[in-house]
Amino acid sequence: MKQDFLETEISIALVKETFSTELSRQLSLARISSPIAILDGTGINDDLNGCERPVAFPLKAMQDRRAVVVHSLAKWKRIRLKQMGIEPGNGILTDMRALRPDEEFTAIHSIYVDQWDWEQRIKPEERSLLKLKQTVTKIYAALKKTEQVVHLSYPGIIPSLPDKITFIHSQELLSMFPGLNPKQREHNAAKEYGAVFIMGIGKNLSNGEPHDGRAPDYDDWSSPNSDGYFGLNGDIIVWNSTLNSAFELSSMGIRVDPEALARQLKIRNYTSASLLQFHNMLLAGELPECIGGGIGQSRLCMFMLKKSHIGEVQVGIWPEETIKKFSETGITLM
């Protein structure tokens, strides 16, 4: 569906308002404010895969103490749950804005990241595969609801999500497609099922490699679970018929407890992190058990509105050759 800038902005607002409202209802989340930058050296910023450089700057009013633009709010939210006294079964939702200058420019990547960061407090006994799957199912219901609302407003946009999301462990996926790399395995699974949740991302598989990288200090990717595998985290990936490819919408999981944190820091040879503020609080048992994740806002708008480039739903910085290439096909990047 071709739209001008104003029409696109109106449809973006529809997607964002519908999904965030439905997600809040499904998971009992309260909307809160959040920071764009935090002090460095606390261990609170998300390290992502451990190699991305944060945007940093000195604070004149604090003797040039270094601050960093957040990568995500994975660990900040856990502290916030404690500060706000959130009870189990309830949680928080915030609009996260980040800069990731090490991102490559692609049709689905830019240096500006906008996502819904959410976190729900759980009971210790809910650290389970069942809780993970129940939560994913509720998020998927919010996705389906949003797709229906978009279709009612724009009949030319045809819904494509299947009725249910399929759960696959990353080890199972490797066994299904042993000759393919992780992205190719995701592509095949998404194409076959329409929507998948790939679990257990971070720990090495039977081939000696992880499905994808994960920092050691937010998702629990190493604990044994009830299906005979490991990990209590994963990614929601759907089939994007516009791009003819797998399309990741969310990364999420049950967060590390003290035991899982200590184990994963050791696996990643990062035990020195235990001296940082966040890690020290967690290892001391001072932070609540929780499940949480991020859901890409521009990604979701791309998918729901059948756009072929993230620049169609997000104002950003684009290489001149990219702008020219898409302009020649009748697509103007915001």
Catalytic residue among 24, 251, 298, 314: 251
Is 28 a residue of the active site?
no
Structural domains of the chain, ranges and CATH numbers in brackets: 5-327 (3.30.930.10)
DSSP states along 96-113: EEEE-TTPPP-SS--SEE
55 in Cβ contact with 68 (< 8 Å): yes
Is 248 a residue of the active site?
yes
Catalytic residue among 248, 257, 289, 312: 248
How far apart CA 70 and CA 142 sit, in angstroms, is 26
Residue 76: exposed, middle, or buried by beta-carbon count in 10 A (0-12, 13-18, 19+)?
A: buried
82-124 tens-digit pLDDT: 999 999 999 999 999 988 888 788 888 888 889 999 999 999 9
Q: Tens-of-pLDDT digits for all 334 residues of the chain? A: 556 778 889 999 999 999 999 999 999 999 999 999 988 888 887 766 666 788 889 999 999 999 988 887 988 999 999 999 999 999 999 999 988 888 788 888 888 889 999 999 999 999 999 999 999 999 999 999 999 999 999 999 999 999 999 999 999 999 999 999 999 999 999 999 999 999 999 999 999 999 999 989 999 999 999 899 999 999 999 999 999 999 999 999 999 999 999 999 999 998 988 888 899 999 999 999 999 999 999 999 999 999 998 888 988 888 888 778 878 777 777 6
How far apart CA 151 and CA 145 sit, in angstroms, is 10
Catalytic residue among 11, 20, 110, 115: 115
How far apart CA 81 and CA 181 sit, in angstroms, is 38
How far apart CA 95 and CA 101 sit, in angstroms, is 19
Which contiguous run of DSSP H or E holds residue 198? strand 195-199
Which residues neighbour 186 within 8 Å (Cβ) at sequence distance 6 or greater?
Answer: 173, 196, 198, 237, 246, 248
Indicate whether this model's pTM tops 0.85.
yes
How far apart CA 325 and CA 329 sit, in angstroms, is 7
Starting from the edge strand earliest in sequence, which strands make up the sheet with 56-59, in order? 37-39, 65-69, 56-59
Is 46 a residue of the active site?
yes
Catalytic residue among 126, 235, 289, 312: 235
Catalytic residue among 20, 72, 78, 100: 100
How far apart CA 248 and CA 244 sit, in angstroms, is 13
SS3 per-residue string spanning the chain: CCCCHHHHHHHHHHHHHHHHHHHHHHHCEEECCCCCEEECCCCCCCCCCCCCCCCEEEEHHHCCEEEEECCCCHHHHHHHHHHHCCCCCCEEEEEEEEECCCCCCCCCCCCEEEEEEEEEECCHHHCCHHHHHHHHHHHHHHHHHHHHHHHHHCCCCCCCCCCCCEEEEHHHHHHHCCCCCHHHHHHHHHHHHCEEEEECCCCECCCCCECCCCCCCCECCCCECCCCCECCEEEEEEEECCCCEEEEEEEEEEECCHHHHHHHHHHCCCHHHHHCHHHHHHHCCCCCCEEEEEEEHHHHHHHHCCCCCHHHCCCCCCCHHHHHHHHCCCCCCC
Catalytic residue among 46, 117, 119, 289: 46
How far apart CA 28 and CA 70 sit, in angstroms, is 25
Is 235 a residue of the active site?
yes
Is 251 a residue of the active site?
yes
202-241 tens-digit pLDDT: 999 999 999 999 989 999 999 999 899 999 999 999 999 9
Is 115 a residue of the active site?
yes
- R_g of the chain computed on alpha carbons: 20
